[in-house]
Each structure stands twice: as structure tokens, then as C-alpha cells.
Amino acid sequence: MTTGVPLTATALASAATPDAPPAAPPAKDVDRFVRLSVALTGFDAFELHGTGLAEFYLRTVVAQVGRPAYDDLRKALEQAGLDPEKLEGDVHQDLARAVAHLWYLGVWPPLSAAVHAELRRQVANDAFTVAPEAYVQGLVWRTFHGHPQGAKAPGFGTWAAPPPGEPELPQPGRPVRGHGGKTGGGR
């Protein structure tokens, strides 16, 4: 087996959701959230759905900033032709940052103090990993063809192989030594 954690790790799957999940948002909502997330993250809809966390992230965003603030962001981004560069206003900009941060690291970041106040949020303005599985599904690792540290292990010796596009290189020292790598010396 080359995966990081054996299949007996069902605790991981169940730990991704709170004990009493709120009603799932309609599939249409999730699709719209993924569409704006594509624009923010640079990953396509197939990859984002493939994390298995799109719906959970939408719920997280709504729980953190409230439905109206999320709807505002979504409408603003849709009106801007899904181009985040054209987003205006500190609130929209900061929420866009937060959504991208969430996808890349599985961590909800602190908002700027001013935006936090303007939204009149009832929750603490603290960073937190939204679920253990969210760390594992962070997009940042894929940007350099890596894997999350502590999960999705690629297998024995894979760390010796070149990353995509780089040349093979010999093992350090091998050609120089002439002992055949068999035994220690008797010095």
C-alpha cells in the first residue's frame, strides 16, 4: 500500500463534517460557488469537485460571513465577468482572498480588522483548519506536483525522482566510491 493512511482511517472521513450537519445547499448553489472558485484559484471545476469539499467549503464561507455577504461577493464577481481583478471594495477583495486561501490550504484566514467589523461578524476573527481532510485536500501542493505532508504518500524512493520537466540525476557519491556498497571498513 502506498497511500499515507490505511483504509481503516474512517475517522478521517467522518471528521470532515460536524456532528449535526446543516441542510445541504442545493446543487445549483454548489455549482455557482465552484464557478467563482475556478476564477479565484486557477483550478478547473473537475479538480475542485474532486476534492470532495466544495459543498463543505460553501457552508463554511456562509457560516463565517453570513449569506448576504457571500451573495454580494458572488454577484459582484459574476457581474465582473468572473474576473477577480475587477472586484471593487475592501469587503469583496478580502472575501475573495479568504475563499482562495481556504481552497489552497484548507484554512479559513483572519479577515482584515476593518472588514471583520464592517460585516458585524459574530465569530472570532481567527484562522483555523476547517477540517482535517481540508488540509489533505489543499490545492497548494498540486501547484508544484507535490503532496500534502503526512498524506497521499507517493511511495518508497519516489523522492529521488526528478519533478516533471527536470533531468534524471545520479545518486550522490556513487561513481566516486569503489567499494561496491557492501561492507563497512575495519579502520
Contacts of another protein in 11-40 (CB under 8 A): 11-12, 15, 39-40
Q: How far is the CB of 29 from another protein (least distance, A)?
A: 21
Q: Give least dist CB 26 to another protein, A.
A: 26
Backbone angles phi, psi at 108, to 5 degrees: -80, 125
Taking CB under 8 A as the criterion, the residue among 32, 72, 93, 118 binding another protein is 93
Contacts of another protein in 140-159 (CB under 8 A): 140-141, 143-147, 149-151, 153-159
Residue with cell string 469537485: 49
Stretch that binds another protein, among 23-31, 51-59, 64-72, 127-135 (CB under 8 A): 127-135
Q: Which three cell numbers stand for residue 150?
A: 503526512
The CB-of-23 to another protein minimum distance in angstroms stands at 25
Q: How many residues belong to the site for another protein (CB under 8 A)? A: 83
81 touching another protein, by CB under 8 A: no
φ, ψ of residue 158 in degrees (nearest 5): -65, -20
- DSSP structure string for 75-134: HHHHHTTT-GGG--SHHHHHHHHHHHHHHHHSEEPPPPHHHHHHTT-SS----EES-HHH
DSSP assignment of 144-183 equals GT---TTSS---TTGGGSPPTTS---PPTTTTT--STT--
Q: Is 122 in the site for another protein (CB under 8 A)?
A: no
Identity of the residue, 23 or 85, whose beta carbon is nearer to another protein in the bound complex? 85
Residue with Cβ nearer another protein (79 or 149): 149
CB 36 within 8 A of CB 99: yes
Min dist. Cβ of residue 105 to another protein (A): 6
